[in-house]
């Protein structure tokens, strides 16, 4: 077990190496002049040259790449040409907002998706089932920006129930930063109204983001539950007089766990990189918004940094999921 974990972690090194190389190649092959923008409209050619030199952009690509790697070993992701701030600091600053959003969306997806999928399976091919399928397909078909806009029109603009965007009311002070997740920090500070405020801000973006994983969970839960209900041992157990609810519960719990794990494995990394749209619609200050701003200014190091961090978290989350499977299902260990 431990050996396996170590093995997987060691394999991370070539992945990281390859990922940086790939991102660097893409970024450097593209046209665009970040220095021209950073230097400002009236900058003289000399000043632009000086800036280029300062950021090492005048040197051969492979040299730049080597420097990047050396710095990376010290957790340094370079400096943004636009803001002159270290990229690592910026990401550390913006990542918690995105994490909070993604985690909230996944929790929502599981909490709503598991029972819905179950319901659909139990009532297979009946109205509830059809409704659930159409609902999840329709939900999957709604582009996040449109869903977000509709939610804003309904709950923020018309009903005035929830905020239009942002993470916390502007004039209020957020709870003291511990984890960077406002809901968690509010709980740590035992500050209930801060918790409610943070939740209110989280609600609409999280709902918008949870749609896709929720539809997947519903589908998985439905098919795996149908399979369980048809399996021989369930029928046998049934024949032996065990109460159906008890049997169902045990197997269903297992399949719910499986579905949840699969979806988290599938979606965690994907959502981290896919919050861009939701963050734009709801003005949510996370890494998606950060990456978008960097992309527009053709400021490459922040974009590479974000892609690297998201890619890494994707790989790591998959390792964790695999380990969880192993813990639950020791039979797989021999494989």
Partner 1 sequence: MSTKNGMTRRDFTALSAVTALSFAGLGAQARAQDGTTFVIASNTELDNMDPHTALGNIPWAFFINIYDPLVRVRHDPPTIEPGLAESWTISEDGLVLTFNLRENAVFHDGSPITAQAVKYSFDRLLRLGAGMSWMIDGIIEAHGVEVVDERTVRITLSQPFAPIMQVLPWVFIVNPAIVEANKGDDDGQSFLSSNPAGSGPFELTRFEAGNLYGFTRFADYFVDGGGNVQNVIWRIVRETSSQRLLIERGEVHYVLDLTAEDMNAIEAAPGVKRVIEPTLQPFYLRMNTAHGPLTDVNLRRAVSSAFDYEGMIDVLGYADLLHGPFPANLPGHNAAMEVYRTDMERARDYLGQSAYPDGGIKLTYVYVSGYEQQRRIGLIFLDSLRQLGIDLEIKPLTWPDMVAAARSPETQSDFMAVWQSSNYADLDNFAFPAFHSSQNGNWTNPVFSDPKVDEMVVAARVGTDPTERTRIYHQMQAYVVDQATDIYCATLQRLIAHRDNLQGFSYTPIGSNAPEFFPLSLT
Partner 2 sequence: MSVAEDAPPRSDSFLRRYMSNRVPALALAVVVALFALAAFGEFLTPYPDHIRGAVNMDDRFMSPSAKHPFGTNELGQDVLSLVLGGARISLIAAVSIIALSALIGTVVGAVAGYFGRFADEVLMRLTDLMLTVPSLILAMAVAAALGQGLFNLVVAITLATWPGYARLVRGEVQALKGELFVQAARTMGAGRLRVLFRHVLPNVAPAVIVKMSLEISFAMITVASLGFIGIGVLPPTPEWGSMLSNARSYMPTYWWIAVFPGLAILVSVFAFNLLGEGIRETLDPRGQR
Residues that bind partner 2 (CB under 8 A): 15, 18-19, 22-23, 26-27, 30-32, 137-138, 140-146, 149-150, 152-153, 157-158, 219-220, 222-223, 269-270, 272-274, 276-277, 280, 288, 291-292, 295-296, 298, 303, 306-307, 310-311, 314-315
Q: How far is the CB of 173 from partner 2 (least distance, A)?
A: 29
In angstroms, rounded to a whole number, what is the distance separating the alpha carbons of residues 92 and 271?
18
Q: How far is the CB of 289 from partner 2 (least distance, A)?
A: 11
Q: What is the DSSP string of 20-75?
A: HHHHHHHHHHS---HHHHHT-TT--HHHHHHHHHHTTTTS-HHHHHHHHHHHHTTT
Residue-wise over 229-240: b if at least 16 C-beta within 10 A, else e?
beeeebeebeee
Question: Dihedral sign, CA of 79, 84, 87, 92?
Answer: positive
40 binds, among partner 1, partner 2, none (CB under 5 to 8 A by kind): partner 1
Q: What is the DSSP string of 231-268?
A: SHHHHHHHHTT--HHHHHHHHHHHHHHHHHHHHHHHHH
Residue with tokens 């599938």: 266
Give the count of beta carbons closer than 10 Å to the beta carbon of residue 295. Answer: 15
DSSP state of 176: P
Q: How far is the CB of 165 from partner 1 (least distance, A)?
A: 5
Q: How far is the CB of 179 from partner 2 (least distance, A)?
A: 23
185 binds, among partner 2, partner 1, none (CB under 5 to 8 A by kind): none
Q: How far is the CB of 4 from partner 2 (least distance, A)?
A: 19
The smaller minimum CB distance to partner 2, of residues 19 and 48, is found at 19
119 binds, among partner 2, partner 1, none (CB under 5 to 8 A by kind): none
In angstroms, rounded to a whole number, what is the distance separating the alpha carbons of residues 63 and 235?
66
In angstroms, rounded to a whole number, what is the distance separating the alpha carbons of residues 232 and 249?
16
Extract the tokens encoding 175.
């709870």
175 binds, among partner 2, partner 1, none (CB under 5 to 8 A by kind): partner 1
Q: How far is the CB of 203 from partner 2 (least distance, A)?
A: 19
Extract the tokens encoding 33.
């002049």
70 binds, among partner 1, partner 2, none (CB under 5 to 8 A by kind): none
Per CB under 8 A, residues contacting partner 1 are 32-34, 36-44, 46-47, 54, 82-85, 89-90, 93-94, 156-157, 160-161, 164-167, 169-173, 175-176, 189, 191, 193-194, 280, 283, 285, 289-290, 296-298
Q: What is the DSSP string of 147-163?
A: HHHHHIIIIIIIS--S-
The smaller minimum CB distance to partner 1, of residues 90 and 116, is found at 90
160 binds, among partner 2, partner 1, none (CB under 5 to 8 A by kind): partner 1
The smaller minimum CB distance to partner 1, of residues 59 and 233, is found at 59
The smaller minimum CB distance to partner 2, of residues 139 and 189, is found at 139
Phi and psi, residue 86, nearest 5°: -65, 135
The smaller minimum CB distance to partner 2, of residues 18 and 244, is found at 18
Q: How far is the CB of 167 from partner 2 (least distance, A)?
A: 20
Question: Dihedral sign, CA of 237, 239, 241, 245?
Answer: positive
269 binds, among partner 1, partner 2, none (CB under 5 to 8 A by kind): partner 2
145 binds, among partner 2, partner 1, none (CB under 5 to 8 A by kind): partner 2
Q: How far is the CB of 247 from partner 2 (least distance, A)?
A: 23
Give the count of beta carbons closer than 10 Å to the beta carbon of residue 241. Answer: 6
DSSP state of 332: G
In angstroms, rounded to a whole number, what is the distance separating the alpha carbons of residues 228 and 247?
10
């Amino acid at each position: 077990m431990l050996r396996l974990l170590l093995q997987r972690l060691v394999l991370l090194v070539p992945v990281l190496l390859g990922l940086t190389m790939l991102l660097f190649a893409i970024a450097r092959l593209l046209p665009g002049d970040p220095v021209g923008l950073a230097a400002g409209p009236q900058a003289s050619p000399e000043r632009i040259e000086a800036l280029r030199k300062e950021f090492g952009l005048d040197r051969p690509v492979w040299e730049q790449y080597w420097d990047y790697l050396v710095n990376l070993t010290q957790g340094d992701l370079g400096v943004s040409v636009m803001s002159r701030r270290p990229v690592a600091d910026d990401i550390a600053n913006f990542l918690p907002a995105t994490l909070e959003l993604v985690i909230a969306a996944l929790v929502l997806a599981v909490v709503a998706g598991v029972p819905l999928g179950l319901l659909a399976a139990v009532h297979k091919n009946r109205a509830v089932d059809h409704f659930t399928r159409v609902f999840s397909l329709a939900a999957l078909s709604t582009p996040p920006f449109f869903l977000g806009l509709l939610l804003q029109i309904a709950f923020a603009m018309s009903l005035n129930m929830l905020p239009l965007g942002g993470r916390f009311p502007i004039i209020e002070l957020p709870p003291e930063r511990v984890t960077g997740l406002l809901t968690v920090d509010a709980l740590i500070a035992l500050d209930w109204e801060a918790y409610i405020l943070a939740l209110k801000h989280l609600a609409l973006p999280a709902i918008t983001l949870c749609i896709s994983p929720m539809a997947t969970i519903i589908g998985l839960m439905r098919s795996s539950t149908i399979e369980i209900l048809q399996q021989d041992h369930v029928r046998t157990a049934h024949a032996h007089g065990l109460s159906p609810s008890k049997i169902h519960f045990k197997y269903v719990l297992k399949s719910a766990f499986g579905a949840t794990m699969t979806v988290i494995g599938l979606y965690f990394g994907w959502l981290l990189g896919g919050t861009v749209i939701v963050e734009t619609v709801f003005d949510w200050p996370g890494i998606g918004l950060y990456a978008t701003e960097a992309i527009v200014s053709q400021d490459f190091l922040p974009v590479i940094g974000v892609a690297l961090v998201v890619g890494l978290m994707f790989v790591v989350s998959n390792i964790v999921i695999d380990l969880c499977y192993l813990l639950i299902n020791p039979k797989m260990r021999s494989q």
